[in-house]
Amino acid sequence: MGLLVTSDAVEARAHRFDWFCETVSNDVMPVMLSTRRAADFQADVTYLDLGVVGLSVVTSSPVISRRTAAHVRRGDPEHVQLALITQGAVRISQRDNESVVAGGLVLTDTSRPSGGACTAERTETVIMQIPRQALPLNSNRVDRLLGQGLAADAGTGAILADFLKTLVARGPGCRPEELRAMGTVALDVATAFLAQQLGDPGEAPAEARAQETLQRIHRFIENNLGDPDLTPRAIAERHSMSLRRLHTLFGDQPLTLAAHIRRTRLARAHSELAREDLSGQPVQMIANRWGFSSAAAFSRAFRDAYGITPTEHRVLSRTAAHLGGRSLP
Protein backbone atom coordinates (compact mmCIF):
# COMPACT_ATOMS: atom_id res chain seq x y z
CA MET A 1 0.00 0.00 0.00
CA GLY A 2 1.55 3.27 -1.08
CA LEU A 3 0.67 6.87 -0.32
CA LEU A 4 1.21 9.30 -3.23
CA VAL A 5 1.03 13.08 -2.96
CA THR A 6 1.72 15.24 -5.97
CA SER A 7 2.10 18.94 -6.73
CA ASP A 8 -0.47 18.54 -9.51
CA ALA A 9 -3.11 18.44 -6.77
CA VAL A 10 -2.28 22.08 -6.02
CA GLU A 11 -4.36 24.10 -8.47
CA ALA A 12 -2.35 27.32 -8.46
CA ARG A 13 1.11 26.80 -9.97
CA ALA A 14 2.53 29.61 -7.85
CA HIS A 15 1.70 27.65 -4.68
CA ARG A 16 3.21 24.29 -5.68
CA PHE A 17 6.67 24.96 -4.31
CA ASP A 18 5.20 26.24 -1.04
CA TRP A 19 3.22 22.99 -0.83
CA PHE A 20 6.40 20.98 -1.37
CA CYS A 21 8.29 22.89 1.35
CA GLU A 22 5.44 22.38 3.81
CA THR A 23 5.11 18.67 2.97
CA VAL A 24 8.82 17.96 3.46
CA SER A 25 9.15 20.02 6.66
CA ASN A 26 6.01 18.59 8.28
CA ASP A 27 6.12 14.96 7.11
CA VAL A 28 9.86 14.30 6.85
CA MET A 29 11.89 16.83 8.88
CA PRO A 30 12.35 20.60 9.16
CA VAL A 31 14.57 21.89 6.33
CA MET A 32 15.08 25.06 4.29
CA LEU A 33 14.32 24.65 0.56
CA SER A 34 14.82 26.99 -2.39
CA THR A 35 14.42 26.75 -6.16
CA ARG A 36 14.84 28.82 -9.29
CA ARG A 37 11.77 27.13 -10.80
CA ALA A 38 9.07 28.17 -8.30
CA ALA A 39 6.76 29.37 -11.09
CA ASP A 40 6.47 25.92 -12.70
CA PHE A 41 7.70 23.64 -9.91
CA GLN A 42 6.70 19.96 -10.07
CA ALA A 43 7.10 17.25 -7.44
CA ASP A 44 5.75 13.84 -6.47
CA VAL A 45 6.28 12.15 -3.12
CA THR A 46 5.39 8.47 -2.63
CA TYR A 47 5.68 6.72 0.73
CA LEU A 48 5.65 2.99 1.56
CA ASP A 49 5.34 1.90 5.19
CA LEU A 50 7.56 -1.17 5.54
CA GLY A 51 7.25 -1.51 9.29
CA VAL A 52 10.78 -1.35 10.67
CA VAL A 53 11.83 1.05 7.89
CA GLY A 54 10.09 3.51 5.57
CA LEU A 55 10.62 3.96 1.84
CA SER A 56 10.01 7.24 0.00
CA VAL A 57 10.35 8.19 -3.64
CA VAL A 58 10.82 11.91 -4.25
CA THR A 59 10.69 13.29 -7.79
CA SER A 60 11.16 17.02 -8.22
CA SER A 61 12.25 19.98 -10.29
CA PRO A 62 15.61 21.59 -9.34
CA VAL A 63 15.75 22.30 -5.60
CA ILE A 64 18.37 23.20 -2.99
CA SER A 65 18.10 22.07 0.62
CA ARG A 66 19.82 23.15 3.81
CA ARG A 67 19.30 21.63 7.25
CA THR A 68 20.93 23.57 10.05
CA ALA A 69 21.48 22.80 13.73
CA ALA A 70 18.38 24.90 14.45
CA HIS A 71 16.34 22.67 12.13
CA VAL A 72 17.66 19.59 13.94
CA ARG A 73 16.61 21.03 17.29
CA ARG A 74 13.18 21.84 15.88
CA GLY A 75 12.51 18.29 14.73
CA ASP A 76 14.57 15.12 14.38
CA PRO A 77 13.14 11.69 13.45
CA GLU A 78 16.55 10.20 14.45
CA HIS A 79 16.95 8.34 11.17
CA VAL A 80 19.81 7.51 8.91
CA GLN A 81 18.65 7.91 5.32
CA LEU A 82 20.10 5.72 2.61
CA ALA A 83 19.25 7.34 -0.73
CA LEU A 84 19.47 5.80 -4.21
CA ILE A 85 19.63 8.38 -7.01
CA THR A 86 17.70 6.82 -9.91
CA GLN A 87 17.46 9.89 -12.16
CA GLY A 88 19.49 13.08 -12.35
CA ALA A 89 22.23 13.88 -9.83
CA VAL A 90 22.36 15.08 -6.23
CA ARG A 91 25.09 17.02 -4.45
CA ILE A 92 25.24 16.11 -0.76
CA SER A 93 27.37 17.53 2.03
CA GLN A 94 27.53 16.29 5.61
CA ARG A 95 30.21 15.76 8.27
CA ASP A 96 32.94 17.47 6.21
CA ASN A 97 32.19 15.21 3.23
CA GLU A 98 30.76 16.43 -0.07
CA SER A 99 29.77 14.22 -2.99
CA VAL A 100 27.93 14.42 -6.28
CA VAL A 101 25.95 11.21 -6.73
CA ALA A 102 24.31 9.99 -9.95
CA GLY A 103 23.04 6.41 -10.11
CA GLY A 104 24.64 5.56 -6.78
CA LEU A 105 23.82 5.59 -3.08
CA VAL A 106 24.52 8.11 -0.32
CA LEU A 107 23.99 7.96 3.44
CA THR A 108 22.91 10.90 5.62
CA ASP A 109 21.90 11.38 9.25
CA THR A 110 18.87 13.48 10.21
CA SER A 111 20.54 14.37 13.54
CA ARG A 112 23.32 16.36 11.83
CA PRO A 113 23.29 19.52 9.69
CA SER A 114 23.48 18.83 5.97
CA GLY A 115 23.17 20.42 2.55
CA GLY A 116 21.94 19.13 -0.79
CA ALA A 117 21.13 20.24 -4.31
CA CYS A 118 19.22 18.61 -7.19
CA THR A 119 20.12 20.64 -10.28
CA ALA A 120 18.76 18.46 -13.13
CA GLU A 121 15.42 19.31 -14.71
CA ARG A 122 14.02 16.17 -13.07
CA THR A 123 15.61 14.26 -10.20
CA GLU A 124 14.27 11.04 -8.69
CA THR A 125 15.53 9.68 -5.39
CA VAL A 126 14.51 6.52 -3.53
CA ILE A 127 15.10 7.05 0.20
CA MET A 128 15.13 4.34 2.86
CA GLN A 129 14.47 5.82 6.32
CA ILE A 130 16.16 3.64 8.95
CA PRO A 131 15.68 4.40 12.65
CA ARG A 132 19.09 4.69 14.28
CA GLN A 133 18.11 2.16 16.94
CA ALA A 134 17.10 -0.39 14.29
CA LEU A 135 20.46 -0.36 12.48
CA PRO A 136 22.57 -3.10 14.09
CA LEU A 137 25.92 -1.41 13.40
CA ASN A 138 28.12 0.73 15.60
CA SER A 139 27.03 4.37 15.21
CA ASN A 140 30.55 5.77 15.31
CA ARG A 141 31.62 3.49 12.48
CA VAL A 142 28.53 4.25 10.39
CA ASP A 143 29.21 7.98 10.75
CA ARG A 144 32.36 7.54 8.63
CA LEU A 145 30.13 6.95 5.59
CA LEU A 146 27.96 10.07 5.92
CA GLY A 147 27.94 12.29 2.84
CA GLN A 148 30.05 9.90 0.76
CA GLY A 149 28.95 8.54 -2.62
CA LEU A 150 28.59 4.74 -2.46
CA ALA A 151 28.63 2.59 -5.59
CA ALA A 152 25.43 0.75 -6.56
CA ASP A 153 26.61 -0.99 -9.74
CA ALA A 154 28.29 -4.08 -8.26
CA GLY A 155 28.17 -6.46 -5.29
CA THR A 156 25.79 -5.79 -2.41
CA GLY A 157 25.25 -2.22 -3.65
CA ALA A 158 23.73 -3.51 -6.90
CA ILE A 159 21.62 -6.06 -5.01
CA LEU A 160 20.31 -3.36 -2.68
CA ALA A 161 19.58 -0.95 -5.56
CA ASP A 162 17.67 -3.60 -7.52
CA PHE A 163 15.68 -4.59 -4.43
CA LEU A 164 14.70 -0.98 -3.68
CA LYS A 165 13.56 -0.47 -7.28
CA THR A 166 11.46 -3.64 -7.10
CA LEU A 167 9.86 -2.49 -3.84
CA VAL A 168 8.96 0.83 -5.43
CA ALA A 169 7.42 -0.89 -8.47
CA ARG A 170 5.64 -3.80 -6.73
CA GLY A 171 5.19 -2.65 -3.14
CA PRO A 172 1.99 -0.62 -3.62
CA GLY A 173 0.20 -3.84 -4.59
CA CYS A 174 1.26 -5.76 -1.47
CA ARG A 175 -0.69 -6.34 1.73
CA PRO A 176 0.52 -4.62 4.93
CA GLU A 177 1.89 -7.87 6.39
CA GLU A 178 3.82 -8.50 3.17
CA LEU A 179 5.29 -5.00 3.31
CA ARG A 180 6.39 -5.53 6.92
CA ALA A 181 8.18 -8.71 5.89
CA MET A 182 9.84 -6.89 3.00
CA GLY A 183 10.90 -4.16 5.42
CA THR A 184 12.93 -6.61 7.48
CA VAL A 185 14.55 -7.95 4.31
CA ALA A 186 15.36 -4.41 3.15
CA LEU A 187 16.98 -3.63 6.51
CA ASP A 188 19.04 -6.83 6.35
CA VAL A 189 20.29 -6.04 2.83
CA ALA A 190 21.05 -2.41 3.75
CA THR A 191 22.92 -3.58 6.86
CA ALA A 192 24.98 -6.05 4.81
CA PHE A 193 25.78 -3.30 2.31
CA LEU A 194 26.87 -0.79 4.94
CA ALA A 195 28.90 -3.42 6.82
CA GLN A 196 30.70 -4.26 3.59
CA GLN A 197 31.48 -0.57 3.06
CA LEU A 198 32.97 -0.42 6.56
CA GLY A 199 35.23 -3.44 6.04
CA ASP A 200 35.34 -6.61 8.11
CA PRO A 201 32.19 -6.80 10.27
CA GLY A 202 34.27 -8.73 12.78
CA GLU A 203 35.96 -5.46 13.72
CA ALA A 204 32.75 -4.28 15.38
CA PRO A 205 32.82 -4.29 19.19
CA ALA A 206 31.17 -7.16 21.05
CA GLU A 207 28.31 -4.88 22.16
CA ALA A 208 27.53 -3.94 18.55
CA ARG A 209 27.61 -7.60 17.47
CA ALA A 210 25.24 -8.51 20.30
CA GLN A 211 22.90 -5.71 19.22
CA GLU A 212 23.01 -6.98 15.65
CA THR A 213 22.11 -10.49 16.82
CA LEU A 214 19.25 -9.14 18.93
CA GLN A 215 17.84 -7.17 15.99
CA ARG A 216 18.11 -10.24 13.75
CA ILE A 217 16.17 -12.30 16.31
CA HIS A 218 13.49 -9.60 16.57
CA ARG A 219 13.06 -9.68 12.78
CA PHE A 220 12.90 -13.49 12.82
CA ILE A 221 10.15 -13.35 15.44
CA GLU A 222 8.25 -10.71 13.42
CA ASN A 223 8.32 -12.94 10.33
CA ASN A 224 7.25 -16.11 12.17
CA LEU A 225 4.55 -14.95 14.58
CA GLY A 226 2.00 -17.20 12.89
CA ASP A 227 3.98 -20.34 13.71
CA PRO A 228 2.49 -21.90 16.89
CA ASP A 229 5.84 -23.65 17.46
CA LEU A 230 7.70 -20.33 17.77
CA THR A 231 9.23 -20.80 21.21
CA PRO A 232 12.44 -19.56 22.83
CA ARG A 233 14.00 -22.99 22.34
CA ALA A 234 13.10 -23.04 18.63
CA ILE A 235 14.51 -19.52 18.21
CA ALA A 236 17.75 -20.50 19.97
CA GLU A 237 18.16 -23.57 17.75
CA ARG A 238 17.43 -21.57 14.61
CA HIS A 239 20.18 -19.08 15.53
CA SER A 240 22.69 -21.74 16.65
CA MET A 241 22.93 -20.57 20.25
CA SER A 242 22.12 -21.94 23.67
CA LEU A 243 18.83 -21.13 25.36
CA ARG A 244 20.82 -19.51 28.16
CA ARG A 245 22.61 -17.15 25.76
CA LEU A 246 19.30 -16.24 24.11
CA HIS A 247 17.77 -15.28 27.46
CA THR A 248 20.92 -13.32 28.31
CA LEU A 249 20.49 -11.27 25.11
CA PHE A 250 16.97 -10.38 26.24
CA GLY A 251 18.05 -9.73 29.81
CA ASP A 252 17.76 -5.94 29.61
CA GLN A 253 14.61 -5.95 27.46
CA PRO A 254 11.29 -4.72 28.96
CA LEU A 255 9.69 -8.18 28.56
CA THR A 256 10.91 -11.75 28.66
CA LEU A 257 11.20 -13.37 25.24
CA ALA A 258 8.05 -15.48 25.68
CA ALA A 259 6.09 -12.44 26.89
CA HIS A 260 7.33 -10.37 23.94
CA ILE A 261 6.13 -13.02 21.48
CA ARG A 262 2.72 -13.29 23.19
CA ARG A 263 2.19 -9.51 23.35
CA THR A 264 3.18 -9.01 19.71
CA ARG A 265 0.81 -11.78 18.59
CA LEU A 266 -2.02 -10.26 20.63
CA ALA A 267 -1.36 -6.82 19.13
CA ARG A 268 -1.61 -8.22 15.60
CA ALA A 269 -4.86 -10.05 16.40
CA HIS A 270 -6.24 -6.97 18.20
CA SER A 271 -5.60 -4.87 15.08
CA GLU A 272 -7.17 -7.36 12.66
CA LEU A 273 -10.26 -7.88 14.79
CA ALA A 274 -10.98 -4.15 14.46
CA ARG A 275 -10.70 -4.17 10.65
CA GLU A 276 -13.99 -3.84 8.77
CA ASP A 277 -12.67 -5.80 5.77
CA LEU A 278 -11.98 -8.83 8.03
CA SER A 279 -15.33 -8.74 9.85
CA GLY A 280 -16.46 -11.90 8.04
CA GLN A 281 -13.55 -13.97 9.30
CA PRO A 282 -14.17 -16.00 12.47
CA VAL A 283 -12.30 -14.88 15.55
CA GLN A 284 -10.44 -18.18 15.77
CA MET A 285 -9.25 -17.89 12.16
CA ILE A 286 -7.56 -14.61 13.04
CA ALA A 287 -6.19 -16.12 16.25
CA ASN A 288 -4.76 -19.06 14.31
CA ARG A 289 -3.10 -16.71 11.84
CA TRP A 290 -1.10 -15.22 14.71
CA GLY A 291 -0.07 -18.48 16.34
CA PHE A 292 -2.92 -19.16 18.81
CA SER A 293 -4.08 -22.72 18.23
CA SER A 294 -6.29 -22.85 21.34
CA ALA A 295 -9.45 -20.70 21.34
CA ALA A 296 -9.65 -20.76 25.15
CA ALA A 297 -6.01 -19.76 25.59
CA PHE A 298 -6.39 -16.92 23.06
CA SER A 299 -9.56 -15.56 24.70
CA ARG A 300 -7.96 -15.70 28.16
CA ALA A 301 -4.74 -13.99 27.03
CA PHE A 302 -6.72 -11.34 25.12
CA ARG A 303 -8.90 -10.53 28.14
CA ASP A 304 -5.84 -10.33 30.41
CA ALA A 305 -4.17 -7.89 27.99
CA TYR A 306 -7.12 -5.69 26.99
CA GLY A 307 -9.80 -6.19 29.64
CA ILE A 308 -12.44 -7.45 27.18
CA THR A 309 -12.96 -10.57 25.07
CA PRO A 310 -11.98 -10.70 21.38
CA THR A 311 -15.66 -10.74 20.38
CA GLU A 312 -16.46 -7.71 22.54
CA HIS A 313 -13.51 -5.84 21.04
CA ARG A 314 -14.74 -6.63 17.52
CA VAL A 315 -18.29 -5.44 18.30
CA LEU A 316 -17.08 -2.22 19.95
CA SER A 317 -14.72 -1.47 17.06
CA ARG A 318 -17.48 -1.96 14.50
CA THR A 319 -19.87 0.20 16.51
CA ALA A 320 -17.29 2.97 16.80
CA ALA A 321 -16.68 2.84 13.03
CA HIS A 322 -20.41 3.16 12.34
CA LEU A 323 -20.59 6.13 14.71
CA GLY A 324 -18.02 7.89 12.56
CA GLY A 325 -15.42 8.29 15.31
CA ARG A 326 -17.82 9.63 17.98
CA SER A 327 -17.20 8.41 21.51
CA LEU A 328 -18.98 5.34 22.80
CA PRO A 329 -20.81 5.63 26.14
- Tell whether the model's pLDDT for residue 2 goes beyond 70: no
What confidence score (pLDDT) does residue 23 get? 85
CA neighbor of 84 nearest in space, from 55, 49, 110? 55
In this prediction, residues 16-28 reach a mean pLDDT of 86
Q: Is the pLDDT of residue 250 over 90?
A: no
Instruction: Provide the whole-model pTM.
Output: 0.65
Percentages helix, strand, coil for the chain, rounded to the nearest 5? 50, 20, 30
pLDDT of residue 164: 97
Q: What value does the mean pLDDT take over residues 14-38?
A: 87
Q: What is the pLDDT of residue 327?
A: 43
Q: How confident is the model at residue 239 (pLDDT cuts 50, 70, 90)?
A: confident
Identify the band that residue 326 occupies on the pLDDT scale cut at 50, 70 and 90: very low
Rounded to an integer, the average pLDDT of 69-77 is 94
Q: What is the arithmetic mean of pLDDT over 237-256?
A: 85
Which of residues 221 and 208 earns the better pLDDT score? 221
Phi/psi of residue 146, nearest 5 degrees: -60, 130
Return contacts of 208-211, CB within 8 angstroms, 24+ apart. Answer: 208/136, 208/137, 208/138, 208/141, 210/249, 211/136
Q: Which residue has the higher pLDDT, 297 or 318?
A: 297
Pairing between strand 63-67 and 32-34?
antiparallel
Please tell me the predicted confidence (pLDDT) of residue 7. Answer: 52
Report d(CA 247, CA 42) in Å as an integer: 53
Cβ within 8 Å of residue 32, ≥6 positions away: 65, 66, 67, 68, 71
What is the distance between the alpha carbons of residues 320 and 328, in angstroms, rounded to a whole number? 7
| Minimum mean pLDDT range among 14-23, 32-41, 111-120, 195-204 | 195-204
Q: Per residue in 197-216, pLDDT tens?
A: 988 555 445 566 677 788 88
Mean pLDDT value of segment 189-199: 90
In this prediction, residue 39 has a pLDDT band, given cuts at 50, 70 and 90, of confident
Which residues, other chains included, contact 102 with Cβ-Cβ below 8 Å and sequence gap of 6+?
A: 85, 88, 89, 90
Residue 98 main-chain phi, psi, to 5 deg: -140, 130
Kindly tell me if the per-residue pLDDT of 328 is higher than 50.
no
